[in-house]
Structure 1
Amino acid sequence: MALNQPTYLSHDERFRAVYMSALAAITGLISGLVAYALFNLIALALNVTYFQAVSLELPNLAQHTLGAWIVIVPAIGGLLVGLMARYGSPKIKGHGIPEAMEAVLTSDSRISARVAIWKPISTVVAIGSGGPFGAEGPIIQTGGALGSLLGQKVSMTASERKVLLACGAAGGMAAIFGTPLAGVILAIELLLFEFRARSFIPLVIATAVATTLRHALIGDGPLFAMDAVSFGLPWNAPAYIVFAVLIGFVAVGFSKLLFLVEDGFDALPIGEVWRPALGGLGLGLIGLIAPQVLGVGYDLITGILNNHFAVTALLSIAVFKTAALLVSLGSGTSGGLLAPMFMTGAALGALFAVCMNALLPGAPLEPAAFALVGMAALFAAASRATFALIVFAFEITRNYDAILPLMLVCVIATGVGILFMRTTIMTEKLARRGLRVHQDFEVDPLERADIGSVMETQPLRIREDARLDSIAPLLGMSKQASAHCDALVVVDADEALVGILTRSDVLRAQTEHIDNSLTAGVLCTRNPVVAFPDETVREAVHRLLYHDIGRLPVVARHDKTRLVGYIDRAAVIAAHRRGMREDGIQLSANP
């Protein structure tokens, strides 16, 4: 197979690339500033609500000063969020990422200004009143909304606007966690559904700007600091495999239970405004028992990753954090999934290691190591953003020894999720609305085949001086023509390409009773659109669609009059069928 010739960008394409890069930098700066502001506003709200103090440091809610009033505060926050959803925008409900995905799929990546305003406000209220969420999901939606709004203010295509939306989302995540590479990959896996230079370069620029801003405002350390830890490979590999299977089933159960709780709240005979308040009341009762699970809980995650908790504390965190998340998010309030699922996964990982060490005395399992892989694997299996979570956990620890156990556990857990869930925790809502999200990254069969490998090398030709009465039999009415032949390549005496003569050209001439002495050179379309044998079939398809034609003469690149082949729709279908066979896809006449 011949290699494609290098593609050189036109002046307009170079200008658009620079233009998009500049807009991506602006989007990254804005999303970084908004993420920083949101982070501090959440901390301020928690301090004011639970400690009646003014501070921008995230507090430990286990030491709150509210007493029994802790039951009421989340209910009030839930009611306020319900009112915002009712009179502001209903799209503020949920954890943010599915809503951003829906905008990409259904609205040409257009997100309204209302979402950009009300989502961060509702997040501050929800988390500030004790919601067990992180700010990352809402900032992903808010950052995406800001990128979309910028894309709506300037002239650009829907694809370019989608890139800016993803830049805002990735910039927001990078600014919160200090994980620029994971932000890029998460945006690719959950929002862009493509990996191209036109989107990858702006994404990197946006996250680089947002992360640089984070370093200036917050510092360059990771959000979850972790001491050095031994992962124990290869001897602990069997334990990692067992844990991977278990955490995969936990992810499946958690996802199904979340939507079961949502369905339960939707079935309640009360208005939508009151459902988040009811969920907040349930959250308040949980907070009365385990107040440490309220709020973002970044300090708890850090503590789990550094072996600061005993078994009873780990069990309490895993159980009550999950219950708090289910009852509050299921009621339709606003908050992010990443941080609470990180906490649950980390607690389960540490618990697994502690229990295995107790059952098998002498087992060298490090709870912090299993906490890290559990943190990444639970969300990876539930969302199938596996690559992003592997990179995310690595960026947090900056420990290369973590790569192998992260890859092993995340991939196996994701495999369990694929086996037992048709959708993911991110796409279930969209599937219920009739939207299909294709999250697999695969090369189009038409990209794998070049034109030279599928073209007809001996196309039916006719001389330009051939008369009309001798042409008609060649277009489907002669044994020497193939059954699907509806066009002829017109050449001169030296076999140089002159044009394309189609059946419609001949029928038009016959209908208009033109003299049969007219020749092919007069009736044909001269200087036709052509293709080169080293181009991909996909490029040929784009050309066919753009010009609304059904075939292309194939010519030598060094001499565009030298005919070397011919490609039409039948050849395109044949290339696609060949690609399907290479992928092991069975061809069948039945659906």
Structure 2
Amino acid sequence: MNAKTVALIEQFNLWRKQRISKANFLIIAAFVVGILGGLAAALLKQLTHLIEEFLQNGLQWKYKYYLYLFFPLIGIFLTVLYIKTFIRKRKFKHGLTPLMVDISRNSGRVDFHNIYSQIISSALTTGFGGSVGLEAPIVTSGSAIGSNIGRFFGLNYREVTLLLACGAGAGIAGAFNSPIAGMVFAIEILLPTFSIPAFIPLLIAVATASVVARVLYAKPLFFLVTEGWQMQALVFYTIMALLVGAFSIYFFKLNFYVQRQFSKIKNTYNKVWIGGIMIGLFIALLPALYGEGYITIQQLMNGKYESLLANSFFSDFKDNPWILLGFATLTLFGKSLASLLTIYSGGNGGTFGPSLVMGAFIGFIFAHTINQFGWIQLNTTNFIVAGMAAALSGIMHAPLTGIFLIAEITGGYELMVPLMIVSAIAYFINKGTLQHSIYTKSLAESGDLATPEFKDRAILRRIKLKYLIEDDFIILKPEDTPSERSYDIIHTQRNIFPVVAKDGLLLGVINSEELLEILINKDSEQSATPVEELMHPLTDTVTIDANALEVMRDMENQNIPIYPVVDADNRYKGFVSKAGILNKYRALLKRDSDYL
């Protein structure tokens, strides 16, 4: 950006600070974020469905159906090729976990390319049959819109983070046409330490995004006509919720197992081949795994259970309910694995959508099985809907998002009580067993989780040592003697001296008390001894790129109040103190509480 452009931006920012209050400007910015977030959501859905439509209906070739085995492989390959070709300067990240890291560690900075790269890459992955959802990419795209608008106008960390959350909520609202769920998602996942003032910009953003997306892409995700729920079915909703909670624990463990296995494969294109071929084979056996899977769920809601076996090797058994249930169970576990294979082999998508699909399958399998025994006739559609809410609550640790999202996208507001029950049970089973969701486990381990119980660590992670370095220490050379530097030793305000070589390397340290004792004792021969022989060799240093959380842990463990700081080549930079870190921590804590 040239100097003239920067000057114009600064001039505009000065004008708006004088004429527009902070609260009003945030509402205006949230409105803009909502428009752009809605456009991004509509564009992603439209682009993905255009690719799907072309491959399934537009491409005319006698043997094209044999390509269905290879479509996911092609999609993942094109995704990886696009990222390696066009996103080279920045590391491409997918999923919600990196977004939380950006909030916790990178001051809410989301790279600009995510606005468009998430849309292109996820459309290629999912459009070609990758068994993932579009929700995580559109959340990241919307977050990038909010983050970059905030940074463009020179807003502070909390204001940028709020607009980032507005973009994320706008993405959910636009993708599902569910403004309430979009707002709840932003608060529950990205702003766990929110306060009431955050509601207004979020409401503006998600409502605007929902309107824009609906104008551009009016097709709803699901159609549902429900007759309400029966009191005697509550015990079965409870049992199903227990099953969903147990499945969410399985999916959590499967996620990290698949991640570890693919991390062992160093060659990117080997990951593509292995994952792509495996997904193709899964789809050949279980056609419902192709793409997002929402079409299959809608057919199950409509009572067209035999459609699950259509175009499969088991289509001749579509009238056998037990084979149908067995096939649905295979599809459930196949979806859990296929979605993770798509993500970790190089595709771009998230587990948000697959969570809904897996929950729907559990609800269908459970209700249809009970109905076969004839004990009671359960409303299978209601259990499909409840299963989606329970799975989202358990897997994402977002019960409110699960309740309101499913109620909005299915129109199942009459099922609010069952949705609350199954979401709460599935959440508490997963939370009580694992504590963290698949998105937050790694964040909690690294101290980047910004929930109330991890807030202190998250703030410390944000503190960069380069802004805390104290460099007003008297530097001694190795050949200096105490008598030669007696004036500096006596008059310094510090109680430690770094010993630094000519090339800047930090050799050791020596305390002022030791030097003063030598100078006071006039008969001491050490007054003429080079400090190189008197200093204490370095036992611990900290590099300039370390974070304050790591430094504070070391200081607490070793009970030391100050640490020498060096660069990657062990060149002396200064010292960092526990008091300095705590002062900065208090300042950030106050700044955070001033707004949200």
User: Shorter-normalised TM-score: what interval?
Assistant: 0.5 to 0.7
Partner residue of 2:244 out of 240, 244, 247: 247
**Cα distance in 2, alignment partners of residues 117 and 64 from structure 1:** 35
Whichever residue aligns with residue 263 of structure 1, its letter is: R
The Cα of 1:302 is off from its aligned counterpart by 1.6
**One-letter identity of the residue aligned with 2:236:** A
| Contact 1:51-1:66 within 8 A present in 2 as well | no
CA contact 2:104–2:450 (8 Å) conserved in 1: no
Q: Does 2:298 match 1:281?
A: no
C-alpha displacement of 1:244? 1.0
Q: 1:79 Cα deviation (Å)? A: 2.2
Instruction: Find 1:351's aligned residue among 356, 362, 365.
Output: 365
Give matches, 1:231-242, under 5 Å. Answer: 231-233=229-231, 235-242=232-239
Question: Is the Cα contact below 8 Å between 1:305 and 1:368 reproduced in 2?
Answer: yes
- CA distance in structure 2 between the partners assigned to 1:223 and 1:66 by the alignment: 28
Aligned equivalent of 2:52: 46
Distance 2:187 2:109 in 1: 18
Q: Kindly indicate whether the alpha-carbon contact (under 8 Å) linking 1:83 and 1:273 is maintained by their aligned counterparts in 2.
A: no
1:92 and 1:75 map into 2 onto residues whose CA distance is 22
Residue of 419, 425, 437 corresponding to 1:412: 425
Identify unmatched segments of 5+ residues in structure 1. Answer: 1-10, 55-62, 445-591
**1:18 is matched with which residue?**
24
Q: Provide closer, same or farther for how the CA distance between residues 64 and 34 of structure 1 changes in structure 2, counting only shifts above 3 A.
A: farther
Counterpart position of 1:210: 209
In 1, Cα distance between the equivalents of 2:259 and 2:380? 33
Bigger mean CA deviation after superposition, 368-377 or 422-431: 422-431
User: 1:227 and 1:442, CA in 2 relative to 1: closer, same or farther beyond 3 A?
Assistant: farther
1:322 and 2:331 correspond: no
Normalised by the length of structure 1, the TM-score is 0.67
1:267 matched to 2:264: yes
Whichever residue aligns with residue 43 of structure 1, its letter is H
1:435, 1:300 → 2: CA distance?
A: 40
Shift of residue 176 of structure 1? 1.0
Q: Name the CA distance, whole Å, in 1 between partners of 2:24 and 2:92.
A: 36
Contact in 2 for aligned 1:227/1:306 (Cα 8 Å): no
C-alpha distance in 1 between matches for 2:410 and 2:451:
28
Pair 1:351–1:323, CA change in 2 (3 A): same
How far 1:259 sits from its partner (Å)? Answer: 1.2
CA distance in 1, matches of 2:150, 2:247: 39
Report 1:384-533 matches (<5 A): 384-431=397-444, 434-439=446-451
Conserved? CA contact 2:444–2:454, under 8 Å? no
Q: Is the 8 A contact 1:78 1:278 kept in 2?
A: no
User: Contact between 2:142 and 2:167, CA under 8 Å: does it hold in 1?
Assistant: yes
**How far, CA to CA, are the matches of 1:411 and 1:392 in structure 2?**
15
What is aligned with 2:355?
341
Residue correspondence of structure 1 range 515-554 to structure 2 within 5 A:
none
| 2:161 corresponds to 1:162 | yes
Give the deviation of 1:346 after TM superposition. Answer: 0.5
Alpha-carbon offset, residue 396 of structure 1: 2.4
Partner of 1:545: none
- Give the match's secondary structure for 1:223: coil
TM score, norm. by length of structure 2: 0.66
For residues 104 and 200 of structure 1, what CA distance do their matches in structure 2 show? Answer: 18
* 1:25-79: CA deviation from partner (whole Å, max 9, x where unpaired): 000000101111111111111223344459xxxxxxxx99623222222222222
Q: What's the offset of the Cα at 1:364?
A: 2.9
**Corresponding residue for 2:582?**
none
- The superposition leaves residues 102-145 of structure 1 with CA deviations (integer Å, 9 ceiling, x where unpaired) of 11111111111122232211111111221112211100001101
Which secondary structure state, in structure 2, belongs to the residue aligned with residue 236 of structure 1? helix
Q: Does the aligned pair in 2 maintain the 1:353–1:365 contact within 8 Å?
A: yes
Instruction: Specify the SS of the correspondent of 1:225.
Output: coil
| Segment drifting more, 118-127 vs 176-185 | 118-127
Equivalent in the alignment of 2:227? 229
Matched, 1:32 2:38: yes
> Structure 2: how far apart are the matches of 1:21 and 1:48?
40
| Structure 2 stretches lacking a partner, 5+ long | 1-16, 307-324, 457-596
**Equivalent position SS for 2:113:** helix
Partner SS state of residue 307, structure 1? coil
44-53 or 293-302, which moves further after superposition? 44-53
- Kindly indicate which of the two structures has a greater share of residues assigned to helix: 2
Aligned to 1:80: 78
Asked whether the equivalents of residues 380 and 389 of structure 1 are also in contact (C-alpha less than 8 Å), the reply is: yes
Instruction: Deviation per CA, 1:347-380: give whole Å up to 9, x if none.
Output: 1101101112223x23132111111111111121
Indicate conservation of the 8 Å contact 2:225/2:411, yes or no. Answer: no
Give the superposition deviation at 1:222.
4.1
Give 1:239 deviation, angstroms: 1.2
Deviations 1:309-338 (A, max 9, x none): 143553353233223212212324211222
Deviates more, 1:320-329 or 1:107-116: 320-329
Q: Secondary structure at the match of 2:21?
A: helix
Q: From 298, 303, 317, give the equivalent of 2:299.
A: 303
Contact 1:259–1:330 (CA<8 Å) still a contact in 2?
Answer: no
Q: Is the 8 A contact 1:381 1:417 kept in 2?
A: yes
1:335 aligned counterpart, secondary structure:
coil
Query: How far off is 1:394 after superposition?
Result: 1.4
Residue 241 of structure 1 aligns with an amino acid whose one-letter code is T
Which residue identity is paired with 2:159?
A: E
Q: Please say if 1:194 is aligned against 2:193.
A: yes
Q: Secondary structure of the equivalent of 1:156?
A: coil
Work out whether residues 41 and 213 of structure 2, in 8 Å CA contact, stay in contact via their aligned partners in 1: no
Cα deviation, residue 385, structure 1: 0.8
Q: Indicate if the aligned counterparts of 2:69 and 2:277 stay in contact, CA closer than 8 A.
A: yes
Aligned sequence identity (%): 29
Distance 1:261 1:178, change over 3 A: same
Q: Given residue 172 of structure 2, which amino acid in structure 1 is its aligned partner?
A: M
Q: Secondary structure at the match of 1:274?
A: helix
Query: How many pairs were matched up?
Result: 421
Q: 1:17 to 1:325 in 2, by over 3 A?
A: same
> 1:325 & 1:408 partners in 2: Cα distance?
27
**Cα distance change of structure 1 residues 437 and 304 upon mapping to structure 2, 3 Å threshold:** farther
How many angstroms does 1:343 deviate by?
1.1
Distance 1:47 1:100 in 2: 31
Distance 2:188 2:105 in 1: 18
Please tell me the root mean square deviation across aligned C-alpha atoms, in Å: 2.7
**Aligned 8 A contact 2:193 2:451 in 1:** no
CA contact (8 A) 1:79 1:274 kept: no
1:138–1:335 Cα contact (<8 Å) kept: yes
Residue aligned with 1:113, SS: coil
